[in-house]
Amino acid sequence: METMLERLIRYCKVNTRSDESSKTVPSTVSQVEFAKALASELRELGFSEVTHRLDNGFVTATIPSNSDKPVDTLGFIAHFDTADFNSENVMPQIIENYDGNDIVLNKALDVVMTVDKFPNLKNYVGHTLVTTDGTTLLGADDKAGIVEIIEAMLYFVAHPEVKHGEIRVAFGPDEEIGRGANLFDAKDFRARYAYTLDGSVLGELEYESFNAASGKVTLHGVSVHPGTAKDKMVNTSKLAFEFDSMLPQEDVPEKTEGYQGFFLLHDMKTTIELGHMSYIIRDHDKEKFLLRKQLMLDNAKAINEKYGTTRVVAELNDSYYNMAEVIAKDFKPVELAKQAMANLGITPIIKPIRGGTDGSKISFMGIPTPNLFTGAENFHGKFEFASKEVMEKAVSVIIEIIKLNAK
C-alpha cells in the first residue's frame, strides 16, 4: 500500500491514449512503450512468467500457486489505455484530508470541481484524493485498476505463508476504443475465473453489461447549383435529419438509465453530396438489441424506397455482448466477490454496467469475468479523481477473493 499513490501518479503521467482511427495493435506507440516498461517493472517486483505479447499488446504475469491442494486459477485484468480526451502532460494533484468543499483544479483557468455539480464528492470527506490539474483527464480509468492488482500481488509475494492458488494478471491496450480484448489469448491465460478492475465507486460488482454494436450510415445525395436545384438536389444533411428522426427520440443516453437501451449519434459529417453518420447501439436485453439493429436497417430501406434509389446505406458491426449470459451459468466468481466484500464490511453494489469492459468479451471466450470497483470517478474528463482509501479497499477485496478461493 505504501507504493500505491506513487505508482498511480507515475503511471497516470504517461500518455497512453488510444486512437480509434489507427489500424495497428495497440492503436498507439505510447501504449507499446508503456507495456514494455510495465513488463520490466513486473519482473523486478518478482512476478513470474512475465510476457509482453506484440501480437495483441497484452502484458501477462503469474504468481505461482503455493497451495498443497488443487485450486482454481484466478485472473485479474485491467487496461492501460485512456479515453478520447487530452492526456498529454497529465499533472496529478494530491488533496489530503478532503474537507467536502469545492476543489479548485486550476486557479489560472478557473476550473473548479464543484460539490453542486458533483455531489458524489461528499462521499469522500476525509479521504486523500488524486485529481487532475483541470486540463487533462487523470487516467485512473484504468491505471487505478493496474495499480490495485499489482499491490495485491505484492502482498502474496511478501507473505509466502498465505496459501493461494495460481494467480494470473493481464494488462491490455485499447479497451476504450472497444478493441482491446479482441486478440486476448484466453487459453494461454489459463484462468478458470477472472475479474476486471475497471469499475468506479466502493462496492461496485458488475456482471451485466450492454449488448453493443456500432453503426456506420453512409448518405448519398445530389449536388447541383442552388439556383437550379428544384426537384434535383438531394442534400445529405437533410437525409441525416430524416434518418435520425425515424429512431425513437427518447432512446438516447441523456434520457435513459438502468437497463434502458439507446441509440447514440456519436458523430456526423455531411456535404450536399456525401454524408457519414456514426452510431452506437446498446441494450441489455438481447431481443431488444436485435430489434434496435433491425430498425436501423429498416429505416435505411424505407428512405431508399421513398427516393426510388439508394440514398442510405447502413452497416452494423457487433462490438460485445452482455456477459450475464455467460456468468449466469457459473456464479462462483460473483459469489466469491460478494463474500469477500462482506468479510471486509463492504456492501456490494450490484448493478448493470451501462457500457462494457474487456470482461464482456473475455467472458464469451470461456472465462467468466465480472467487474470490480477501483475507487475512481468522473471518468473520461478533467473532473476525474481517485480516492486512496477506496483504492486500498479494492486491493483488500482482491486479496480476500484469492484467500477465499484457496479454501
Give the predicted TM-score (pTM) of the model: 0.91
Q: What element of type H or E holds 149?
A: helix 140-158
Q: Which three cell numbers stand for residue 212?
A: 453493443
Task: Answer yes or no: are the C-beta atoms of 12 and 92 closer than 8 Å.
Answer: yes
Do 151 and 216 reside in the same domain of the chain? no
Chain segment 73-124, per-residue pLDDT in tens: 999 999 999 999 999 999 999 999 999 999 999 999 999 999 999 999 999 9
**pLDDT > 80? residue 1:** no
Do 384 and 313 reside in the same domain of the chain? no
Do 327 and 316 reside in the same domain of the chain? no
Give Cα separations from 230 to 224, 233, 243 (angstroms): 9, 7, 22
Give alpha helix (H) positions in 246-319.
286-307
Q: What element of type H or E holds 34?
A: helix 29-45
Chain segment 159-203, per-residue pLDDT in tens: 999 999 999 999 999 999 989 999 999 999 999 999 999 999 999
**pLDDT > 90? residue 355:** no
Do 301 and 336 reside in the same domain of the chain? no
User: How many domains is the chain partitioned into structurally?
Assistant: 2
Domain end among 320, 347, 364? 320
State which residues form the domain around 269. Answer: 211-320
Average pLDDT, the chain: 97
Percent of the chain past pLDDT 70, that is, above it, reads 100
Chain segment 123-134, per-residue pLDDT in tens: 999 999 999 999
CA atoms within 13 Å, Cβ hemisphere of 8? 32
How far apart are alpha carbons 389 and 123 in whole angstroms? 12
Do 159 and 262 reside in the same domain of the chain? no
Does 250 qualify as catalytic in the annotation? no
Q: Please, which pLDDT band fits residue 357 given cuts at 50, 70 and 90?
A: confident
Asked whether the bond before 26 is cis by omega within 30 degrees of 0, the reply is: yes
Task: Answer yes or no: are the C-beta atoms of 298 and 316 closer than 8 Å.
Answer: no
Q: Which of 19, 81, 176, 208 is catalytic?
A: 81
Domain end among 320, 336, 369? 320
CATH code for the domain in which residue 272 is found: 3.30.70.360
Does 287 qualify as catalytic in the annotation? no
Lowest mean pLDDT: which of 11-20, 159-168, 354-363?
Answer: 354-363
How far apart are alpha carbons 242 and 70 in whole angstroms? 61
Amino acid in the structure at residue 367:
I
Domain end among 261, 289, 320? 320
| Closest among 377, 378, 376, 371 to 397, alpha carbons compared | 371
Do 270 and 296 reside in the same domain of the chain? yes
Task: Answer yes or no: are the C-beta atoms of 289 and 356 closer than 8 Å.
Answer: no
Asked whether the bond before 102 is cis by omega within 30 degrees of 0, the reply is: no
CATH code for the domain in which residue 115 is found: 3.40.630.10
pLDDT given for residue 356 in this prediction: 82
Q: What element of type H or E holds 361?
A: helix 358-364
Q: Which of 19, 148, 175, 176 is catalytic?
A: 175
Chain segment 216-263, per-residue pLDDT in tens: 999 999 999 999 999 999 999 999 999 999 999 999 999 999 999 999
